[in-house]
Amino acid sequence: MMSKQLTGIAKAMIIISSVVHLIFTNIHVKALLLLEHEMCGFVMFLFVLIGLVALFEATRIKKRETAERIFTALICFVTAGLGSYLVMIYRDAISVQRSLDVGVVYRAVVFSMAIILAYVISGLLLIADLIKNR
């Protein structure tokens, strides 16, 4: 019973965070328009896109599918890694660029950290579910 709850919570978190991230992408876009980093837009695009892949993978998880849980957890961790790289780019820009509206970039950092946390927790819940059912 608890196993279904862990997977259900993880799936709900992935779905909610993916959709919220897509809806509020303008937070990233406002920050990106201020930055002078050439990879920033690409990393932000991958952060959102891989999050949507996690959403689709989460909907494919069935009752006894171990491989689907592992793959979805890995996708969650990859998404969190891309988000962490984006936050690193944001923080570097804050320290280097003098004419930067720091408030806009800080908002993007906080938003990214919340999304990263949701993906990490979701991935850990999926792994905990696998370990519990062994």
- Over the stretch 90-103, which tens digit does the pLDDT of each residue have? 999 888 888 888 89
66 located within any domain: yes
Please give the pLDDT value at position 2. 55
How many domains would you assign to the chain? Answer: 1
Query: What would the DSSP string read from start to end of 53-86?
Result: HHHHHHHT--TT-HHHHHHHHHHHHHHHHHHHHH
Domain that holds residue 103: 1-12+23-133
Higher pLDDT, 47 or 97: 47
Contacts of 30 (CB under 8 A, 6+ apart): 104, 107, 108
- pTM beyond 0.85, yes or no: yes
Rounded average pLDDT over 29-33: 91
18 located within any domain: no
Please give the pLDDT value at position 108. 95
What proportion of the chain, given as a percentage, has pLDDT over 90? 67
Please give the pLDDT value at position 87. 96
Please give the pLDDT value at position 3. 53
Please give the pLDDT value at position 100. 83
123 located within any domain: yes
41 located within any domain: yes
- Tell how far CA 7 is from the center of its chain: 17
Separation CA 134–CA 121 (nearest Å): 20
17 located within any domain: no
Separation CA 14–CA 68 (nearest Å): 14
**What pLDDT digit, counting tens, does each position of 50-90 carry?**
999 999 999 998 877 788 999 999 999 999 999 999 999 99
Residue 33 main-chain phi, psi, to 5 deg? -65, -20
50 located within any domain: yes
Handedness of CA 107, 110, 116, 122 (dihedral sign): negative
91 located within any domain: yes
118 located within any domain: yes
- Tell how far CA 28 is from the center of its chain: 13
